[in-house]
């Protein structure tokens, strides 16, 4: 009987899909000026707490400030939804009545469109919680400019911990050396991105576009962390990409 030699050739399987290049966009102070909005939201929350508990406004302000102080340096500090639950008031009411105070940073829409045209995926990464940033980005008319949104309530972390960026790279098959983090906060946007090999763009204009209801984020802004690029306008990104 003739011997049959069956030769099984090794099949070399490789993934031919090119890796993505991503721009991780910070929201507050980078694409959105929320100084007036967040100040008004905090004030409305305090008014709602005052009404709910039938206490003077000054007492409600003291309670809300103490609450924020207790959770400083955690992602929960940014969680308006949980603040609402903690004080048994409707979180959405204080957001919706103040949305008219949200202002996009000049050229935000243009630069998102430009980045997309250059083949980047736009991913919004934020210390805000998901439902709040979705509400705001929808109101601002830019939500459809993003391929993805990674909020602190998704990462269960502050951006400073790096998880937002790692999750985004994994989810979108991103190549770190071809990707950027754009943001106004050295500790939240630049330092963690550098650690994982992303290129970084620091927005010098952001510090004045943020409402500081307590101190921990304002301290971040004073950290001297060197980014690959520093910009004075979002339009400056065009010469970098």
Q: 49 in helix, strand or coil?
A: helix
Q: 100 in helix, strand or coil?
A: helix
Q: Nearer to Mg ion by C-beta: 152 or 185?
A: 185
- Alpha-carbon distance 61 to 58, whole Å? 5
> Which one of 108, 162, 184, 201 is in contact with Mg ion (CB under 5 A)?
184
Q: Nearer to Mg ion by C-beta: 26 or 46?
A: 26
User: Is there binding between residue 200 and Mg ion (CB under 5 A)?
Assistant: no
Segment contacting Mg ion by CB under 5 A, of 24-32, 101-109, 214-222, 228-236: 24-32
Other CB atoms within a 10 A radius of the CB of residue 78 amount to 23
Q: Is the Cα torsion angle 231, 235, 239, 241 positive or negative in sign?
A: positive
Site for Mg ion in 159-178 (CB under 5 A): none
Q: Nearer to Mg ion by C-beta: 20 or 185?
A: 185
User: Is there binding between residue 34 and Mg ion (CB under 5 A)?
Assistant: no
Segment contacting Mg ion by CB under 5 A, of 11-19, 136-144, 184-192, 226-234: 184-192
Size of the site for Mg ion (CB under 5 A): 5
User: Is there binding between residue 26 and Mg ion (CB under 5 A)?
Assistant: yes
User: Is there binding between residue 95 and Mg ion (CB under 5 A)?
Assistant: no
Phi, psi of 125 (to 5 degrees): -125, 130
Packed helices 35-53 and 57-70: angle between N→C axes, nearest 10 degrees: 120
Shortest spacing between CB 86 and Mg ion, in angstroms: 24
8 Å CB contact between 77 and 118: no
Beta pairing partners, 150? 125
Binding site for Mg ion (CB under 5 A): 26, 28-29, 184-185
């Amino acid at each position: 009987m003739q011997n049959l030699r069956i030769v099984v050739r090794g099949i070399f399987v490789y993934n031919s899909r090119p890796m993505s290049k991503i721009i991780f966009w910070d929201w507050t102070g980078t694409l959105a000026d929320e100084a007036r909005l967040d100040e008004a939201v905090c004030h409305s929350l305090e008014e709602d707490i005052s009404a709910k508990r039938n206490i003077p406004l000054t007492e409600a302000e003291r309670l809300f400030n103490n609450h924020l102080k207790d959770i400083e340096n955690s992602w929960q500090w940014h969680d308006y939804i949980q603040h609402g639950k903690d004080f048994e008031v409707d979180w959405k009411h204080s957001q919706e009545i103040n949305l008219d105070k949200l202002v996009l940073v000049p050229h935000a829409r243009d630069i998102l469109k430009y980045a997309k045209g250059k083949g980047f995926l736009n991913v919004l990464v934020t210390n805000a919680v998901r439902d709040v940033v979705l509400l705001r980005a929808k109101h601002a008319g830019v939500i459809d400019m993003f391929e993805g949104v990674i909020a602190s309530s998704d990462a269960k972390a502050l951006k400073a911990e790096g998880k937002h960026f790692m999750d985004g790279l994994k989810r979108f098959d991103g190549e770190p050396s071809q990707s950027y983090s754009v943001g106004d906060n050295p500790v939240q946007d630049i330092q963690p991105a550098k650690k994982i090999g992303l290129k970084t763009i620091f927005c010098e204009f952001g510090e004045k576009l943020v409402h500081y209801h307590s101190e921990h984020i304002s301290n971040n802004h004073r950290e001297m962390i060197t980014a690959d690029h520093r910009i004075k306008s979002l339009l400056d990104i065009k010469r970098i990409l």
